[in-house]
Amino acid sequence: MTSRRKFLKGSAIAGAATLAAPAVHAQSKIKWRMQTYAGPALAEHVIKPAIDSFNKIAGDEMEIELFFADQLVPTGELFRAMQKGTIDAVQSDDDSMASPTEVTVFGGYFPFASRYSLDVPVLFNQYGLGEIWDEEYSKVGVKHLSAGAWDPCHFATKDPIRSLADLKGKRVFTFPTAGRFLTQFGVVPVTLPWEDIEVAVQTGELDGIAWSGITEDYTVGWADVTDYFLTNNISGAWAGSFFANMDRYNELSPRLQELLKLTMDSSHYYRQWWYWGGEAELRVRGTKMKLTSIPDEEWAQVETAALKFWDEIAAESETKAKVVEIFKNYNDTMQKAGKPYRYS
């Protein structure tokens, strides 16, 4: 009996201690869904290395699940889906995802806003575009995380383009603003899902593509269905960004926010050298497309038209005018700096 009483007394004390101790709950892993504008082959370079790195470092704290072009929602609906929280983050340009901001028209390929890929980060980090983008997206409940450069915008076509006249009537897959600009030269912009482009060129629904540089043409398979690559471009670099739903972003710890920033920067760096090297290598040693060019004196008409287009956009709002003024100031500085910043 003595032993039994001691056992019951000890059990009661242990039980009371257990009840009194605060409960310890393991923090659940944060999970985000991010969709990119890019298909699987292209995403292997423009986004996947950065996401893999983030997930590796974040470990048990957070995981970003990556989805490719149109996998969860069509690219044109990316902004709305992110704003509503259907998806947590996006990699895209403003123009393609139809964001309802004053800066949307400048995303993707704004004609001749840049000559080289380094122009884009300088414009955002040193000339004030980053602050403008942050302010505009904060108004609509979205966090603008980071902007960077991609490849230049060239025509890849079935028929050779050697003059502006050759552009007339060409049905081309391109970005909304680029298409709006190119219509004055007879180009017919066509909007299709990204994954349908290759087949559309094969069936004759499209005559060409003005969506990328030669690196993407080879990477995603477009070089297999087009025969010519025009060396003239309407922009030296695609301007794209990473975005997140504002509420989901604010839920992250400062550490995870900083990690997100660092991995986005690593993605921008990867693309700088991957595109820069690839564009030159494939022009010189690529075997799938023949290079054509429009003479400089004729192409100058396109450059002059771009400046007029800038003024038309600037007249639409105060914010747009501010962005255009930054472009003008920046390009004036680059021109005056001379080689290697500008060669003409």
In a domain, residue 21? The reply is no
Q: Say whether both 103 and 178 belong to one domain.
A: no
Q: Say whether both 43 and 138 belong to one domain.
A: yes
Q: Say whether both 74 and 211 belong to one domain.
A: no
- Spatial neighbors of 92 by CB under 8 A, at least 6 apart, are 36, 37, 75, 78, 107, 240, 241, 243
In a domain, residue 1? The reply is no
- H or E segment to which residue 188 belongs: strand 188-190
Measured between its terminal Cα atoms, the distance across the chain in Å is 103
In a domain, residue 22? The reply is no
Residue with tokens 């038309």: 312
DSSP code for 153? -
Supply the CATH number for residue 66's domain: 3.40.190.170
Q: Say whether both 204 and 332 belong to one domain.
A: yes
In a domain, residue 11? The reply is no
In this structure, the number of other CB atoms found within 10 A of the CB of residue 142 comes to: 22
pLDDT at position 102 is: 97
What separation in angstroms does the CA of 219 have from each of 37, 44, 134? 15, 10, 32
Q: Say whether both 274 and 291 belong to one domain.
A: no
| CA angle at 240 for the pair 238 and 244, rounded to the nearest 5° | 175
pLDDT at position 343 is: 81
In a domain, residue 314? The reply is yes
Number of domains in the chain: 2
pTM for the predicted model, two decimal places: 0.89
Q: Say whether both 111 and 86 belong to one domain.
A: yes
User: What is the phi/psi pair of residue 56, to 5°?
Assistant: -65, -45
Q: Say whether both 95 and 145 belong to one domain.
A: yes
pLDDT at position 22 is: 46
Instruction: Give the closest residue to 124 by CA, choosing from 262, 265, 305.
Output: 265
Domain membership of residue 186 as a residue range: 154-236+287-337
Q: Say whether both 122 and 248 belong to one domain.
A: yes
Q: Say whether both 57 and 203 belong to one domain.
A: no
Q: Say whether both 168 and 242 belong to one domain.
A: no
In a domain, residue 5? The reply is no
Q: Say whether both 163 and 222 belong to one domain.
A: yes
- Please give the structure tokens belonging to residue 38: 């890019």
Q: Say whether both 220 and 313 belong to one domain.
A: yes
In a domain, residue 342? The reply is no
Name the H helices within the chain.
Answer: 2-20, 40-46, 48-58, 78-84, 119-125, 129-138, 176-182, 197-203, 214-220, 246-250, 254-285, 296-314, 318-337
C-alpha 133/C-alpha 144 separation (Å) is 7
pLDDT means per 10 residues, the chain with 344 residues, are: 45 46 63 96 97 98 97 95 97 95 96 97 98 98 97 98 98 95 97 91 97 97 97 97 98 98 97 97 97 97 97 98 98 96 83
In a domain, residue 15? The reply is no
